[in-house]
C-alpha cells in the first residue's frame, strides 16, 4: 500500500525522467517526503510539493522554496474548484506551476497551469471556461478512485 502523495511523487518522477530523455537537462532528482527537487545541469532547481487533496493551495504554494516551484495535485473537481476559488492569490505567485494529474486517465495524464503567467495573457471573462476546458483534457478522478488505486 502506498499513500496518495507517494503515488503522486513516484508518478511525477517517472514523468519528469521520461520527458528529460529528449532534453537531457536534468542532473539530479531528489525526493524528500512529499517534495521532489529537480536540479538542472545549468544550476537551476525547481521544488515540487505533492499535495493530493489540498485544503489551501495558496498556503502550500507559498511554503515551497525557490523561485520556480510546482504543486502536484490529482485532477479532481474539488482541486479544480479550489484553484478557481484561490485564483486571485495563486496568480500573484511568480514561478508557480500547478500540475493536475490522473495516472489512470485514458487520454492525457496531466495538464499544467502557471497562474501568474496565465493571468497576464487571459481575460477574466473567459478564464473559468478556458481553464475548465484544460481540466477536461485529462479525465477527472475522485478521492475514492485514488484511494482505491493506492491500496
**Rounded mean pLDDT of 72-86?**
97
| Percent with pLDDT over 70 in the chain | 99
Residue 10 has what pLDDT? 96
d(CA 54, CA 34) in angstroms, rounded, equals: 12
**pLDDT beyond 80 at 85:** yes
pLDDT of residue 47: 97
**Domain carrying residue 50:** 4-149
Task: Write the DSSP symbol of residue 41.
Answer: T
Q: Model pTM greater than 0.85? A: yes
pLDDT of 122 reads 86
Number of folded domains in the chain? 1
CA–CA dist 38, 81 (Å, integer): 28
Calculate Rg over the CA atoms of the chain. Answer: 15
Task: Quick: pLDDT tens for 112-145.
Answer: 999 999 998 988 888 889 999 999 999 999 999 9
| pLDDT single digits (tens) 92-115 | 999 999 999 999 999 999 999 999
What is d(CA 133, CA 113) in angstroms, rounded to the nearest whole number? 12
| Angstrom distance (rounded) from CA 47 to CA 45 | 7
Gap between the Cα atoms of 125 and 137, Å rounded: 21
Indicate the pairing of strand 110-113 with strand 96-101: antiparallel
Amino acid at each position: 500500500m502506498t499513500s496518495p502523495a507517494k503515488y503522486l511523487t513516484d508518478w511525477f518522477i517517472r514523468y519528469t525522467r521520461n520527458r528529460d530523455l529528449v532534453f537531457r537537462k536534468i542532473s539530479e532528482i531528489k525526493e524528500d517526503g512529499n517534495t521532489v527537487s529537480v536540479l538542472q545541469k545549468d544550476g537551476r532547481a525547481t521544488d515540487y510539493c505533492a499535495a493530493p487533496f489540498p485544503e489551501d493551495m495558496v498556503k502550500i504554494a507559498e511554503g515551497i522554496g525557490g523561485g520556480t516551484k510546482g504543486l502536484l495535485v490529482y485532477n479532481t473537481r474539488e482541486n479544480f474548484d479550489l484553484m478557481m476559488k484561490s485564483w486571485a492569490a495563486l496568480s500573484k505567485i511568480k514561478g508557480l506551476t500547478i500540475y493536475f494529474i490522473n495516472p489512470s486517465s485514458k487520454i492525457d495524464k496531466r495538464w499544467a497551469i502557471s497562474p501568474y503567467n496565465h493571468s497576464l495573457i487571459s481575460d477574466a471573462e473567459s478564464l473559468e471556461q478556458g481553464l475548465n476546458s484544460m481540466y477536461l483534457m485529462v479525465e477527472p478522478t475522485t478521492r475514492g478512485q485514488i484511494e482505491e488505486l493506492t491500496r
